[in-house]
């Protein structure tokens, strides 16, 4: 099985968008991508070939340009044939258009009363020792200041 091993920062001006890319990004999508870049940084690298042709990541590049970034992280994929590149581009675009997962699958499950953040006894109604509170006192009072003291 092949895998990518070479990742580099590449000047956005060197990157060549795929001419036949069927996917376009709305202003709303670009705004979301820009917000993600500001909040989390550029985590998901652009996928390119050795000639700097973009295989995946056109929207991230557009958002990075709008944010004033001069370089973006890129993964070089040099083992795909031209037919495989086109197939990957289509597959990547199709996956991006798949309907989102139901929200209940994406939510963090709520903690039950009496459990801490790890789901162990001692949370909201549990032992005050686990909450960082001294028995009978407010946060920061008494002998046991817990994790927050």
Q: What tokens were used for 87?
A: 């197939």
How far is residue 32's CA from residue 67's CA, in Å, rounded to a whole number? 12
Per-residue confidence (pLDDT) for residue 89, from 0 to 100? 87
Tokens of 137: 């006192």
Residues 102-119: pLDDT tens digits?
555 555 556 555 555 555
What pTM value is reported for the model? 0.63
Give pLDDT < 50 ranges for the chain: 98, 123-149
Parallel/antiparallel/unpaired status of strands 71-76 and 46-48? parallel
What is the rounded CA–CA span in Å between residue 35 and residue 93? 21
């Amino acid at each position: 099985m092949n895998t990518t091993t070479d990742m580099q920062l590449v000047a956005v001006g060197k990157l060549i968008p795929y001419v036949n890319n069927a996917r376009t990004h709305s202003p709303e999508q670009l705004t979301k991508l820009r917000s993600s870049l500001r909040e989390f940084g550029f985590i998901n690298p652009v996928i390119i070939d050795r000639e700097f042709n973009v295989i995946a990541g056109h929207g991230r590049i557009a958002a990075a340009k709008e944010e004033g970034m001069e370089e973006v992280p890129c993964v070089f994929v040099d083992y795909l044939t031209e037919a495989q590149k086109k197939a990957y581009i289509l597959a990547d675009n199709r996956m991006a258009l798949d309907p989102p997962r139901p929200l209940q699958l994406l939510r963090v499950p709520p903690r039950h009363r009496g459990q801490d953040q790890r789901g162990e006894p001692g949370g909201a109604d549990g032992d005050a020792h686990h909450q960082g509170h001294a028995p009978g006192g407010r946060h920061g009072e008494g002998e046991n200041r817990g994790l927050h003291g």
